[in-house]
Structure 1
Amino acid sequence: MMMHMIFIFIFFSGVLNFCLKRKHLLLMLLSLEFIVLVLFFMIYFFLLKFTFECYFSMVFISLSVCESVLGLTLLVSLIRSHGSDYFYTFNILW
């Protein structure tokens, strides 16, 4: 029971960090990866607790790697086109 509370606290601290660091895309991507990593550990320990197969955790971690690669490519293309990862440099009317 205590481990569940620790995981929930770590998850919500990642969500809070995601909400507070909304000006930089890189910091948002890092906090999203932190949240995904906590979710992976929660799923893994849940599957171990009930002695299920851990194949779903491998699918989850491979999809999270694909998500992080997509975020990094968006970050690189954003920095090449606008010069920084600040959200206030965007012009919506362009």
Structure 2
Amino acid sequence: MANIFFMFYLSVVMFMFGCLVFVSNRKHLLSTLLSLEYMVLSLFIFLLFYLMFMNYEVYFSMFFLTFCVCEGVLGLSILVSMIRTHGNDYFQSFSILQC
């Protein structure tokens, strides 16, 4: 029982560290996308242990992973299109008014 609460606590701490990295000032879009994927992974761990603790079906975790993969692919496609148009993934060289 204590092991499950430790995993809950660990996933919440992982999510908070992911949020901290996400809101910090980063120069590259790739590091921001990686921190978002880290946050999604911590939410998946939290969801999985929550569903197992409450004795629910864990099929919802597969839907969650499907949407997470779609979110990751969308982020990578935006990154690739930004690199093709601007030449790099620095936030300083990207202006929202150019799009």
> What TM-score, normalized to structure 2?
0.87
The aligned length equals 94
CA deviation digits over 1:51-83, x for unaligned, max 9?
100111000000000000000000000000001
Question: How much is the aligned-residue C-alpha RMSD, in angstroms?
Answer: 1.3
Aligned with 1:47 (options 32, 39, 51): 51
Instruction: Name the TM-score, length of structure 1 as normaliser.
Output: 0.92
Please give the per-residue CA displacement for 1:10-59, whole angstroms capped at 9, x wherever unaligned: 11001111112532110000000000001001001100111100111000
Q: After TM superposition, what 4+ stretches of structure 1 lie above 3 angstroms from structure 2?
A: 91-94
Unaligned runs of 5+ residues in structure 1 are none
1:67 corresponds in structure 2 to 71
Matched AA of 2:28: H
In 2, Cα distance between the equivalents of 1:19 and 1:63?
Answer: 23
Identity percentage of aligned residues = 50
- Alignment gaps of 5+ in structure 2: none
